[in-house]
Chains A and B, each alone.
Chain A
Amino acid sequence: MRVLVVEDERALREQLVKTLQRAGYAVDATDSGEEGVFMGSEYPVDVAVLDLGLPDLDGLEVLSRWRSNGHSFPVLVLTARGRWTEKVEGLETGADDYLTKPFHIEEVLARLRALVRRASGFASTTLSNGPIELDISSQEVRVGERDVDLTAYEYRLLEYLMMHPGEVISKTTLSEHLYDEETDRDSNVVEVLVGRLRRKLDPDRSIAPIETLRGRGYRMRAPPADA
């Protein structure tokens, strides 16, 4: 999952980036509203954390430009302005959730997970696909009764695939959502990650959850209708 953080306070921005990276997100960050508008419009952002009190461009204006440019990724607004009039204004402009400073960093993580889950159309924090279960809160993965131990990138890859079941996803799209803008990307790495993921999820090749579509990308098998 790729997160865009727009926050002008350096210490807070760095803390957010570090925490989000530890939580398995690919993070792009900026301290400028104008750059935030650009990154939100040009990068494949899955969710954004937006501070309202930016020095060059008001956060609400950034949000408004994203929305008017047709970008519907969920946005968590951070602000020191705690009045309901301001909260209502922010939510009406297109924010999906609102967090007043100061906050616990865990609260940001919980709200972001909820937003991503909501945006993907899942009601529960546990995503299921056949015997595979992924808990986005605890980031635990189980296949049947077996716990699966995944690296951060393997987890990101699986989470993204499980949030888009049945969809053909190209290697480029996958690498864009797995890595931030600063990281060098190599589509071979995606192939290696998919291979490792398959071995960990399905060592005896009995369920084959991830299909390869030659020249097009990968597809997570759609879960059964009653799942």
Chain B
Amino acid sequence: MTAKGKRTGWSLRLRVLLAGAVVVALFAGLTGLAIERSFRGSVEELSRERLLARIYMLMSAADVDADGILTMPFGLPEPKLAVPGSGSYAAIAMTDGETLWRSESSLGLEVAYPTVQDPGSSRLIETAPDDSDLLQTLAYPVIWELDGGAEKIFIFQAAESRAALDAEFTAFRNILWRWLGGGAVALLLMQAVVLIWSLAPVRRVAEEVREIETGSRDSLGGDYPQELQRLTTGLNALIDGREARLQRYRNTLSDLAHSLKTPLAVLRAGDAGEAGSAQNVAEQLDRMEQSIEYHVQRAAMSGRSPLAAPIEVRPAAVRVIESLKKIYHDKPLDIECDIAPHIVFAGDPGDLDELLGNLGDNACKWGRSLVRISAHNELDAEQRLHLILSVEDDGPGIPDELREAVLKRGVRADSRLPGQGIGLGVVRETVEELYGGSVQIDAGELGGTRVRLSI
């Protein structure tokens, strides 16, 4: 659901069904129109051929004598020509328009036949005599060779009512649209079924997210189609990350409260006695300050974000180096950055700043004249990308026996400069606990301290 005032939007199912309905309606409509048009053409062609066949029948029945006088027999093969108003009509005319013969069916009906003069050509028209159905008429001029070798032109004419044609066409159209409509509905129903089946995993995700929100489930189930697998895996990782972060905040608060209560207890107990001396108060304040700094830094680390894109290391390193140059302006230090532009870190940008800042700050404190920050990427056996980040200096270095100890919270190899213990402790916890990486300390090439992170 969306926030108040925002439109919820149409459901996926409604969208697909509406789109499907529009597509099916368009498809069925265009298909129906095409079939209807094609059928009408076929029927009209058939009518023309019927009229032509009637003309051939008239030609075979006609008898023309040597003087060119045309006579027609009684009882033609097509009985409908003898029934007035039957819908089938015929006539024979001269080129000047004089009608030589007309069928008995055309009694009382003035049929307007098309005018055609060229022998061998034919012409089909539709005409509507008064008070009668629409007629389809065909005229076909023929040169008749007389016995003496002379020629005479007769125009054979045939007509039939369109009523039968139209009735046939209407019946076909009714059947056609009924089938197409039925097909469209069947298609839409099938689409709805397919949709319900296809969207079932999405519905399941929504239901499971709702269950997570109500607290009856911890994560999404694992069995999802390939297309949703990345989404559900990402969501699960986000949920896990959020849980881990919440847990870390709770632990940090608890640890912080505990670490503050001890010096507070010392101060309270010392109100009346020796422990209340200024030196003791200052010591306990220092303890409290260190605790706050350590726990706040630790809580601020984000850890790997499953849906975040890897970030380039070099720009972050350059920014931190520029800041360190300002902070250590008075120290004759050269800070080298040996990081290629394509080197990336699959994690939170703030964490990278923190790692670079803490390690760089330590190196600048202890280095005599040179600090080097370098990084490269490596692929492990499972093809996972690792960042190897090294920060080294040419300072006095950390003795072997103390290297493990300085990675613990608040332990300093040398107390001449403040802050190192906390910085390295946070770095170790970030790398090992949030990124599953490792931290190593050795002398490096510069002879001082090299802290090498594998993340």
Interface residues of A (CB under 8 A from B): 82-85, 87-88, 91-92, 95-98, 100, 102, 114, 118, 123
Q: Which residue of B lies closest to A124 (CB)?
A: B330
CB neighbours (8 Å) of A84 from chain B are 320, 323, 353-354, 356-358
Contact with A along B316-329 (1 / 0, CB 8 A): 00011011001101
Q: Is the CB of B354 within 8 A of A91?
A: no
In the assembled complex, the Cα of A143 lies from the Cα of B158 at a distance in Å of 141
CB neighbours (8 Å) of A123 from chain B are 330
Interface of B is mostly: helix
In the assembled complex, the Cα of A83 lies from the Cα of B320 at a distance in Å of 12
In the assembled complex, the Cα of A91 lies from the Cα of B354 at a distance in Å of 15
Interface residues of B (CB under 8 A from A): 285, 289, 293, 296-297, 300, 319-320, 322-323, 326-327, 329-330, 349-350, 353-354, 356-358
CB neighbours (8 Å) of A87 from chain B are 323, 357
Known pairs A83-B354, A84-B354, A102-B289; A114 contacts B330 (CB<8 A): yes
Q: Is the CB of B323 within 8 A of A83?
A: no
Known pairs A82-B296, A82-B297, A102-B289; A88 contacts B353 (CB<8 A): yes
In the assembled complex, the Cα of A82 lies from the Cα of B285 at a distance in Å of 18
CB neighbours (8 Å) of B356 from chain A are 84
In the assembled complex, the Cα of A118 lies from the Cα of B329 at a distance in Å of 8
Closest CB in chain B relative to A89 CB, distance in Å: 9
Q: Which residue of B lies closest to A123 (CB)?
A: B330
Could you list some 26 contacts between A and B, CB below 8 A? Answer: A82-B293, A82-B296, A82-B297, A83-B300, A83-B350, A83-B353, A84-B353, A84-B357, A85-B354, A87-B323, A88-B319, A88-B323, A88-B353, A88-B357, A91-B323, A91-B326, A91-B327, A92-B319, A96-B326, A96-B329, A97-B326, A97-B327, A102-B289, A114-B330, A118-B329, A118-B330
Closest CB in chain A relative to B294 CB, distance in Å: 11
Known pairs A83-B353, A83-B354, A85-B354; A91 contacts B329 (CB<8 A): no
Closest CB in chain B relative to A58 CB, distance in Å: 19
In the assembled complex, the Cα of A114 lies from the Cα of B330 at a distance in Å of 8
In the assembled complex, the Cα of A97 lies from the Cα of B296 at a distance in Å of 21
CB neighbours (8 Å) of B330 from chain A are 114, 118, 123
CB neighbours (8 Å) of A85 from chain B are 349-350, 353-354
Closest CB in chain A relative to B171 CB, distance in Å: 81
Which of B322, B357, B358 gathers most chain A CB within 10 Å? B357
Known pairs A85-B354, A102-B289, A114-B330; A92 contacts B323 (CB<8 A): yes
In the assembled complex, the Cα of A96 lies from the Cα of B297 at a distance in Å of 23
CB neighbours (8 Å) of B297 from chain A are 82-83
Q: Which residue of A lies closest to B319 (CB)?
A: A88
In the assembled complex, the Cα of A127 lies from the Cα of B166 at a distance in Å of 117
CB neighbours (8 Å) of A96 from chain B are 326, 329
Which of B285, B326, B353, B357 gathers most chain A CB within 10 Å? B326
CB neighbours (8 Å) of B289 from chain A are 102
In the assembled complex, the Cα of A95 lies from the Cα of B349 at a distance in Å of 22
In the assembled complex, the Cα of A114 lies from the Cα of B331 at a distance in Å of 12
CB neighbours (8 Å) of A98 from chain B are 327
Closest CB in chain B relative to A113 CB, distance in Å: 11
CB neighbours (8 Å) of A95 from chain B are 326
Q: Which 5 A-B pairs have the closest CB atoms?
A: A84-B357, A91-B323, A85-B353, A84-B353, A88-B323
In the assembled complex, the Cα of A85 lies from the Cα of B330 at a distance in Å of 22
In the assembled complex, the Cα of A100 lies from the Cα of B294 at a distance in Å of 13
Closest CB in chain B relative to A112 CB, distance in Å: 13
In the assembled complex, the Cα of A88 lies from the Cα of B353 at a distance in Å of 9
CB neighbours (8 Å) of B285 from chain A are 102
CB neighbours (8 Å) of B296 from chain A are 82
In the assembled complex, the Cα of A100 lies from the Cα of B293 at a distance in Å of 10
Q: Which residue of B lies closest to A95 (CB)?
A: B326
In the assembled complex, the Cα of A85 lies from the Cα of B320 at a distance in Å of 8
In the assembled complex, the Cα of A51 lies from the Cα of B208 at a distance in Å of 48
Q: Which residue of A lies closest to B350 (CB)?
A: A85
In the assembled complex, the Cα of A91 lies from the Cα of B327 at a distance in Å of 9
Q: Which residue of B lies closest to A101 (CB)?
A: B289
Q: Is the CB of B322 within 8 A of A91?
A: yes
CB neighbours (8 Å) of A118 from chain B are 329-330
CB neighbours (8 Å) of B326 from chain A are 91, 95-97
CB neighbours (8 Å) of B319 from chain A are 88, 92
In the assembled complex, the Cα of A102 lies from the Cα of B290 at a distance in Å of 10
Q: Which residue of B lies closest to A83 (CB)?
A: B300
Closest CB in chain B relative to A161 CB, distance in Å: 23
In the assembled complex, the Cα of A123 lies from the Cα of B329 at a distance in Å of 10
CB neighbours (8 Å) of A97 from chain B are 326-327
CB neighbours (8 Å) of B300 from chain A are 83
Closest CB in chain B relative to A107 CB, distance in Å: 9
